[in-house]
Amino acid sequence: MKVLRMLGRSIRDAFKGVFRNFSLSIASISCITITLLIVGISMVLSYNAENVATLIKKDFSVVVFVENDATSEEVKNIKEQIENMDNVDSYIYETKQEVAEDMKESSAIFKVIIDSWDEDENPFTDTLSIKVKDLNKISETADELSNLNKVEFVKYGEGIVEQILVILDTVGNFLVGIVIALVLVTVFLVSNTIKLTIFSRRKEIEIMRLVGASNFNIKLPFIIEGLFLGVLGSILPIVLTIYGYNSLFNYMSLNEISPFLKLVNPSPFIYLISLILLGIGTIVGMFGSAGSVRKYLKI
Amino acid sequence: MELIKIENLEKKYKTGVTAIYDFDLKVKKGDFIFVIGASGSGKSTLIKMLYREEKPNKGSIVIGNINVANLKNRKVYKLRRKLGIVFQDFKLLPRLTVYENVAFALEILGLTNKEIRNKTIKALELVGLKNKVKSYPDQLSGGEQQRVAIARAIVNGPKLLLCDEPTGNLDPDTSWEIMKVLEEINNLGTTVIMATHDKEMVNRMQKRVIVIEEGRLKKDYEKGTYENESA
């Protein structure tokens, strides 16, 4: 009972603290709001950039050209061996007749030329277009494929794939770095602002000590107050992130700019981001308060 | 019976200034003691060591059954809950009402609202401020503010009341009113130790007076006056 009473009073005092030091509370809340908004936007951007990178990576494939004179038995053999490879995710098989049909559809000139061929004059080859699981091992997989019996040659955009991979990874790491840096800036700014508000209340803490408040008695209301400030400060960033992202997502899905520029589906992504923002707000608020009060306690 | 026993006390500040030397003192339960001495004589240091705001370098202070000199910082609250402290500058919280300022000292103990209400009203009655419960400190005169501070100090029924120049900021008439309140509290059984500069008051009260000079206990009069020291 006694503990509950004291907790109840701490919550009441925390409320009073927010309102009786209104201008300072507003300073802390707006600091949390602004920094969390920036953190929220950067998280949304970097996660989407990662997503675009993944889409680009998924689009890479290795194309295997089977020798023109391979029998259907030999092709079947190749397929089996490909299926057994570790790094192969999926593949699409096209016979040389299908390739020829594709070519005819792509241009009228090709159609005239190809139509002039006899059935066994078709110079194309059966092709297998393979998606790999791990793009970093694409060259090893390509080597393995080119060593298969009756495979004429293998193409996978050698040289370019490696460069694009490096670029995507660099951009990805850079964005993650920015998000981490922004979170650190948030922690620093918010805890400094809270430090100022508590500095102005050091007399209150001194008096609490003089009348016999234990360190815990003193800290508890300030920690709860920090939690309130964190929650209040996270509301606006969360609302803006959810609303803004949903609008952007709707706009982007109506106007497709590029097949790769697809935004991540808002649900549950944006709610997860909101939860992270709320978490950062409350944790920084609470620990910022606790840490600042500690300075004025004799421990 | 002794409430306070001070033995061989020494306090040296980090700046190298020694504020208190070989200081011994015994205080009986129910005593009223004036601590007098020039500015910088060590009066305040002595009072601060009694509520363990300062820690002595040597010697012992025992109040009731608490060894104050050895008390750890995080345990200081246990001592503070057993004594009341009154300051020259009142140390009231400006954003709390009179009632809240006094009740504050009880809330941290986790008492029920009813207990808090009864004790707070009783303490404010004792200092004659029952009709000002809803006022804020800046709406009160200096004397009234000090009475609120006294109510806060005694609301928990402490055995010991420490006063560090409680009338230093007040005019003579108001000081005398405060003195009367303190005397009444003393009559109810609380031991009072008061550091002061106020000659006239010390002379009028005819209580035990201890004189500190350059950090040493110079004299201890059973029914002293300030005049003795004016030379």
**Domain spans of chain B?**
1-82+159-231, 91-157
pLDDT of res. B227 = 61
Tell me what the pLDDT averaged over chain A comes to. Answer: 86
The larger pLDDT score, comparing residue B143 to residue B40, is at B143
Predicted pLDDT of residue B231? 38
pLDDT of B86 above 90: yes
> If you measure CA to CA, which chain A residue comes closest to B95?
A20
Token pair 């290795």: residue: A62
Q: Say yes or no for a CB contact (<8 Å) between A214 and B51.
A: no
Decide if A217 and B77 are in contact by the 8 Å CB cutoff.
Answer: yes
Whose CA is closest to A38, among A141, A182, A153, A139? A182
Task: Tell which residue, B110, B78, B118, has the closest CA to residue A1.
Answer: B110
Chain A, residues 18-77, CB within 8 A of chain B, namely 20
Q: Which CATH number fits domain B1-82+159-231: 3.30.460.80, 3.30.1330.40, 3.40.50.2000, 3.40.50.300?
A: 3.40.50.300
- Mean pLDDT within A32-40: 92
> Nearest-CA residue of chain B relative to A21?
B95
Compute the average pLDDT of residues A56-66. 84
Band of residue A105 on the pLDDT scale cut at 50, 70, 90: confident
Backbone angles phi, psi at A286, to 5 degrees: -65, -50
Q: What ipTM was predicted for this assembly?
A: 0.86
Q: Is B11 exposed, middle or buried (0-12, 13-18, 19+ CB in 10 A)?
A: buried
Percent of chain B with pLDDT over 90: 66
Residue B131 confidence (pLDDT) = 93
pLDDT score of A16: 86
Report the pLDDT averaged over residues B40-56: 91
Residues B105, A212: C-beta atoms closer than 8 Å: yes
What's the average model confidence in pLDDT over A240-257? Answer: 87
Please state which of the ranges A47-61, B28-42, B141-155, B158-172 shows the lowest mean pLDDT: A47-61
Within 8 A of B74 by CB-CB distance, chain A residues are 214-215, 298-299
Indicate if the pLDDT at residue A197 is higher than 70: yes
pLDDT at position B135 over 90 = yes
Interface of B with A in 142-201 (CB under 8 A): 152, 156
Residue predicted with more confidence, B117 or A54? B117
pLDDT at B191 over 80: yes
The more confident residue out of A74 and A120 is: A74
Chain B residues with CB inside 8 Å of A9's CB? 107
Chain A contact present for B108, CB below 8 A:
yes
Instruction: Name the residue in chain B with its Cα closest to that of A1.
Output: B110
- Per-residue model confidence as pLDDT tens digits over A199-215: 888 888 899 899 999 98
Show residues of chain A in contact with B51, CB under 8 Å.
Answer: 210
Q: Are B211 and B187 in contact (CB under 8 A)?
A: no
Helices (H), chain B: 43-50, 76-80, 98-107, 113-126, 142-154, 172-187, 199-205
If you count them, how many residues does chain A have? Answer: 299
- CA dist., res. B61 & res. A27, Å (int): 46
CB B211 within 8 A of CB B177: no
User: CB count, 10 Å around CB of A52?
Assistant: 18
pLDDT greater than 90 at residue B97: yes
Q: Using alpha carbons, list the distances in angstroms from residue A192 to A32, A49, A289, B37.
A: 11, 32, 10, 44
Q: What's the rounded mean pLDDT across residues A221-241?
A: 93
Res. A33 pLDDT band, cuts 50 70 90: very high
Pairing outcome for strands B18-28 and B66-67: unpaired
Q: Which of B47, B50, B75, B77 to mutate to test the interface with A (most CBs of A within 10 A)?
A: B77
pLDDT band at A171 (very low <50, low <70, confident <90, very high): confident
Cα–Cα distance measured from residue B26 to residue B60, given in angstroms and rounded to the nearest whole number: 12
SS3 content of chain A, % helix, strand, coil (to 5): 75, 10, 20
Picking from A40-44, A148-152, B162-166, which range would have the lowest pLDDT averaged per residue?
A: A148-152
Q: Is A7 touching B (CB cutoff 8 A)?
A: no
Q: Which of A100-114, B39-53, B54-68, B217-231 has the lowest mean pLDDT?
A: B217-231
Residue A280 pLDDT: 92
Among A4, A13, A207, A222, the strongest candidate for a mutation testing the B interface, having the largest count of B CBs within 10 A, is A207
pLDDT at position B92 is 93
> Nearest to residue B7, comparing CAs of B62, B87, B82?
B62
Q: B108 and A211 in contact by Cβ < 8 A?
A: yes
Q: Please check the confidence at residue B230 and state whether its pLDDT lies above 50.
A: no
What value does the mean pLDDT take over residues A243-264?
Answer: 83
Q: Cis before residue A268, ω within 30 degrees of 0?
A: yes
Report pLDDT for B180. Answer: 93
Q: What is the pLDDT of residue B145?
A: 96
Domains, chain A, in order of start with CATH, read 2-56+163-296 (no CATH), 61-155 (3.30.70.3040)
Is B212 strand, coil or helix?
Answer: strand
Contact B23, B59 (CB under 8 A): yes
Residues 202-221 of A with CB under 8 A from B: 203-204, 206-215, 217
Q: Sort out which chain B residues have CB atoms less than 8 A from A203's CB and list them.
A: 91, 93
Residue A286 has pLDDT above 60, yes or no: yes
pLDDT at A102: 84
pLDDT at A161 over 90: no
